[in-house]
Structure 1
Amino acid sequence: MRTLLRWALVGAAALVAVTVLWAALYRFVPPPATPLMLIRAAAGSGLERDWTPLDRIAPALVDAVIASEDTGFCGHGGFDWAAIEDAFDENEEGKRLRGGSTISQQTAKNAFLWPDRSWTRKGAETWFTLLIESLWSKRRILEVYLNIVEWDDGVYGAEAAARHHFHKSAAALTRREAALLAVVLPSPRRWSPTRPGSYVARRAGVIEQRMAVVRRDRLDDCVR
């Protein structure tokens, strides 16, 4: 029994060490691929991707993503507890399921983990969120997020998305284009920023208004 316990502790320590080193590496090195990219590629999707430093991505897209996904990004330590509590309350009341994930959580999930809603994956997501919040700057978290998030079938990252949808670089995106890209993030293979339905178009207008608040209230200061 003691031998088994000892090996379990060794295995756990090794797993922790590997994950810490993995997260530390991505602080400096762009992730070569993500689990979702590999899954989509195995299913026959293409792979459009072009890593782009944050300073070559339009500030409008930074503000649009913060406005749409996580207005508290610069102020929290990886988790928006109020949003998580609201999500639990709505889910328990039988309303449409929604998440309370921050940009940090989404970055951890996309960079290191498989797409799943299991408690095992959520636990791993929590661990990797703590790691990147400890080892990376907020600017690095957003830079990785904007370079690996899916923006259409087989299209990943801001540069590929800008060229795929608007035939321009990520640096040249307008406020409206940035808002449209941010709106489709929850369902990028179903919604289109270039052929927006009434909901996407209306929601993009709301995001544009929120972008002004993000800039006015300096909610993006941690990435400037």
Structure 2
Amino acid sequence: MFTALRILLKIVIGFVVLSLVWVGLYAIVPVPFTMTMAGDLISGHSVTKDWTPLSEIDPNMARAAIAGEDSKFCTHHGFDWNAIAGAAVHNADGGRIRGGSTISQQTAKNTFLFQGGGYLRKALEAWFTVLIETIWGKKRIMEVYLNIAETGIGTYGAEAAAQRYFHHSAAHLTPVEAARIAAVLPLPKKREAVAPTGFVRRRGNQIARYVGIVRRVGLDSCLR
């Protein structure tokens, strides 16, 4: 019994130390690869990405992400408990499943973990969310998010999305262009930002209207 406990303790301590080093490393160097990218390669897709500093991505992109994914990004500490509770109630009532994850949680998952996985992955996601909120801060979280979020089949990050959909750099994105990329984020393998129809068009137009509100109200103040 004591031997098993010692082994378990060593495993836990090793995991904590490894995760701290991993998060600390990614606080200063670009994230080179993710498990989601590996999944694309295994499926036979190529991977297109181009790491770009947050300062070189048009502010409209971050504002669109905040408008579309996490309006409380600058004020929460990694978790939006009201959104999580609301999603749980909505999903319990049936219908289309809705998530309550913040940009911080999505960044933790996309950077360090895998898609799916149930409660174990959620627990690991929470741990890494706490770490990146503590060690990285909001600007780095948004920078990583906008560089590794899947924005199309085999396409990752704002720069690759801007080049794919609009044939120019992410340094100059109109509110509409940024909003269309943001509208793709929840289901990037099934949605296109070019000539969108149906939900993507409606959602993109909605996010585009909110981009100006995010700027005026200061919902992106932690990124300025």
Shorter-chain TM-score bucket reads: over 0.9
Q: Which residue number corresponds to residue 137 of structure 2?
A: 137
Alignment map for 1:24-63 (pairs within 5 Å): 24-63=24-63
Identity %: 49
- SS of 1:151 mapped into structure 2: strand
Alignment map for 1:85-164 (pairs within 5 Å): 85-164=85-164
Instruction: Give aligned pairs, total.
Output: 224
Normalised by the length of structure 2, the TM-score is: 0.98
Q: CA deviation at 1:198?
A: 2.8
- SS of 2:77 mapped into structure 1: coil
Normalised by the length of structure 1, the TM-score is: 0.98
Q: CA deviation at 1:117?
A: 4.4
Q: What do you get for the CA RMSD once the two structures are aligned?
A: 0.9
Cα distance in 2 for residues equivalent to 1:144 and 1:130:
15
The runs of 4+ residues in structure 1 deviating greater than 6 Å are none
Q: CA deviation at 1:44?
A: 0.7
Q: Which residue number corresponds to residue 168 of structure 1?
A: 168
Cα distance in 2 for residues equivalent to 1:3 and 1:195:
62
Moved more, 74-83 or 193-202: 193-202
* Deviation by residue 1:78-135 (Cα, 9 ceiling, x = unmatched): 0000000001111112232110000000000000001114111111100100110110
Q: Which residue number corresponds to residue 220 of structure 1?
A: 220
- SS of 2:151 mapped into structure 1: strand
- SS of 1:176 mapped into structure 2: helix
Q: CA deviation at 1:69?
A: 0.4
Matched, 1:79 2:79: yes
Alignment map for 1:193-208 (pairs within 5 Å): 193-208=193-208
8 Å Cα contact 2:152/2:184 also seen in 1:
no
Q: CA deviation at 1:160?
A: 0.7
Q: Which residue number corresponds to residue 23 of structure 2?
A: 23
